[in-house]
Every structure is written in structure tokens, then in C-alpha cells.
Amino acid sequence: MEKKFFFRNKGPFKLKVLFPYTKINFDIQNVKTLKEAIKHDLTFYDSVRYENLAKKTKASVCITTEKLKKHLPKNCKIILVKNVLFELAKVLKKFYPDSDLDYPDLSLQKPSKSKFPAVKFGNNVLIGKNVKIGKNSFVGSNSIIEHDVVVGKNCVIGSQVLIKNSYIGDSVVIQDGCKIGLKGFGFIPIKGNNFKFPHVGHVNIKNNVEIAGSCTIDRGSLDETCIGENTYIDNQVHIAHNVKIGDNCMIAGQVGFAGSSTIGNNVSIGGQAGISGHLKIGNNVKIGGGSGVVKDIPDNQIVMGYPAVSIKEFLKNK
């Protein structure tokens, strides 16, 4: 399934319109990550952590800093700035002006039997334009599915749920009260009036996932937030923008993920643990309940504590 943006692209824009001080005459079609950008796209590169992606980007233009520009391919035009994320935010605001605020979907209607003949709905369900729901799926009462969301077959969506900007696979369970696809917690701090970072990404929930009650999953900023196949998530878990969780993971209640971390396959995380942002957690990792993970964890490790260390070290220090 092709995954498109949920927000309308107001581009193309001339590079001179985006950056008045540049002399390059070039049309920008879209804004994407280093990895996903193609010809005529603008991208951004703000941390040496992404050097390998920078070297291989196919973007025509990249916003970056004096220090990082050397890693970019020679045929990539460079826009030098001091604050990469602020410049990116301003460009995104031009391309996708409505993506920095969660305006409620005003196209919602009661689902029509003719459009969804094989879906069972509770009472007062509200469905936006162009929503697709597969056969034998259930949607509970007072739930809202906003425009363009895709839900697979054999899914059970509970009551009082909200889903927007999301692709949901087959046989997915989303229990009561979950809020999925919200704008993430991203902004450029400015005293008195922060600049809200546009969030044009989406949430991608794969087959056989189960998400328990009252979880929140924010959509990606440029990228996606992704939950891998057969991963089960307990009540009141918070998953921030751009987080990628692998397959067959088990995540207990009240766990929190800060933005942009990547979690491997077969990872189990105990209740109330917290995972900081921009980390890489390997496959088959076990994280004890209540732990605070602040650095990358290689495959097959068992960690615990605050900050989390290997279980051996944790027990030694007790």
C-alpha cells in the first residue's frame, strides 16, 4: 500500500521564496528526510548521527550547517543555516500550513451502510472523508476516525477512540480511549510565542498489533511513527513522534517513549519504564520495569535501573 501524506502539499516553491538570501534558482517539490528524499526534494541534515544517510541522500537541496556540509553528496545544493530545525520548520509551514496544529476534522459524518457494508459500528461513530475500513472490522461507540485513515480487515477498534493520520493493518486491536495520530510535541522555543513545528507524518500500525486502553501515539514529524507486527502494548503507554517499534515486542503499562527512538524486534519493556529520544535499542532486549533508558542498547541485553545499566551491574550496585 502506498502511503501518502495526510496534508496537502502547497508546493512547488522556488528556493528563493523559501530562502530569500539564496541565489540558486530552483523549484522544490517537497520536503523529505535524508533517506526518503528524491530529486527536486529539499531535505535537512542536523546531526553527525545521520552521516551515513547524508552521504547517500538523493535530495536536490539540503539545509545544514557549515560543520556538517562536507558529508553531503557533491550534486546536492546546500543551504547553510545556524538553526537547521528552525529553518526546516519555516519551510514546512509554507508547504503544509495546517500541519502544525490539530484542527479538528470538520468533514466527519455517521458511517453509511452502503459505504461500509461489512463493518460493524457502535453508536455515534464519526468517520471523515475517504476513510477505508476493511471487512469484518468493528468500531466502538463515540469513536472518531478522521479523513483518509486506512484501517485493515478483522480489526477491533474500541469505544471513545480517536484515529487520525494513520495506516492501520489487519487484525489490529485498539482498545477504548486511545488517541492515535496526534501532532507530536515539537516546537522551536521562542519566549512568549514558540514556533510550532509542522507534523506532516503519519502513524503506521502493522498487522496483529494490540494496543490497550488510553494510549497516545503521536504521528511522525516528516517521517512515520511505526508499531511492528504482533507487538502488544498495555494501557496508558505514550509513544512520541517518529518512534519505530519492531515486531513481537511486549510493552507494559505506562511506558513512555520520547521522540525518534528505534526499538528492535522481540523487545520486552516493563511497566513505567522510560526511553529517551533518538536512541537505538537492539533486538531481543529486555528492559526492567521503571527503568530510565538514556543510551543505545545493543542486541540481546537485559537492562535495568535509572539510568538503565546491564542487569549484572544493577545487582552489583545494590
Distance in Å, CB of 112 to a second copy, minimum: 15
User: Rounded to whole angstroms, how far apart are CA atoms 28 and 14?
Assistant: 6
- Contacts to a second copy from residues 205-234, by CB under 8 A: 208, 210, 212-214, 216, 218, 229-230, 232, 234
What's 85's DSSP letter?
H
Pick the catalytic residue: 71, 199, 202, 241?
Answer: 241
Residue number, 11 or 181, with CB nearest to a second copy: 181
Identify the sign of the CA torsion 293, 295, 298, 302: negative
Residue 201 near a second copy by CB under 8 A: no
Largest CA distance in the chain: 64
Residue 22 near a second copy by CB under 8 A: no
Interstrand relation of 280-281 and 224-227 (parallel, antiparallel or unpaired): unpaired
User: Rounded to whole angstroms, how far apart are CA atoms 270 and 249?
Assistant: 11
Residue 86 near a second copy by CB under 8 A: no
**Exposure letters 188-210 (e unless 16+ CB within 10 A, then b):** eeeeeeeeebbbbbbbbbbbbbb
Residue number, 28 or 217, with CB nearest to a second copy: 217
Residue number, 34 or 212, with CB nearest to a second copy: 212
User: Rounded to whole angstroms, how far apart are CA atoms 7 and 235?
Assistant: 30
Residue number, 20 or 104, with CB nearest to a second copy: 104
Among 47, 83, 130, 194, which residue sits at the site for a second copy (rule: CB under 8 A)? 194
Among 25, 75, 114, 193, which residue sits at the site for a second copy (rule: CB under 8 A)? 193
Site string for a second copy, 54-83 (x = CB under 8 A): ------------------------------
Closest CA to 99 of 217, 253, 264, 222: 222
- Contacts to a second copy from residues 281-310, by CB under 8 A: 289-290, 292, 294, 305-307
Residue number, 12 or 253, with CB nearest to a second copy: 253
Residue number, 52 or 130, with CB nearest to a second copy: 130
Residue 272 near a second copy by CB under 8 A: yes
Could you tell me what percentage of the chain is helix, strand and coil, using 3-state DSSP and rounding each to the nearest 5? Answer: 10, 30, 60
Residue number, 298 or 307, with CB nearest to a second copy: 307
> What nine digits make up the cell of 196?
510550532
Distance in Å, CB of 153 to a second copy, minimum: 14
- Contacts to a second copy from residues 110-149, by CB under 8 A: 120, 122-124, 126, 138-142, 144
User: Is 241 among the residues known to form the active site?
Assistant: yes
Residue 159 near a second copy by CB under 8 A: yes
Amino acid identity, residue 234?
D
Q: How far lies 108's CA from each of 20, 105, 151, 158, 291, in Å?
A: 40, 6, 16, 18, 41
> What nine digits make up the cell of 171?
487484525
Distance in Å, CB of 182 to a second copy, minimum: 5
Distance in Å, CB of 175 to a second copy, minimum: 6
- Contacts to a second copy from residues 237-256, by CB under 8 A: 238, 240, 247-248, 250, 252-254, 256
User: Rounded to whole angstroms, how far apart are CA atoms 203 and 148?
Assistant: 12
Closest CA to 205 of 142, 148, 155: 155
Among 91, 131, 227, 258, which residue sits at the site for a second copy (rule: CB under 8 A)? 258
Distance in Å, CB of 32 to a second copy, minimum: 25
Amino acid identity, residue 163?
I
DSSP codes, 145-181: E-TT-EE-SS-EE-SS-EE-SEEE-SS-EE-TT-EEE
Please, which residues bridge with residue 224 across strands?
202
Q: Known catalytic residues?
A: 241
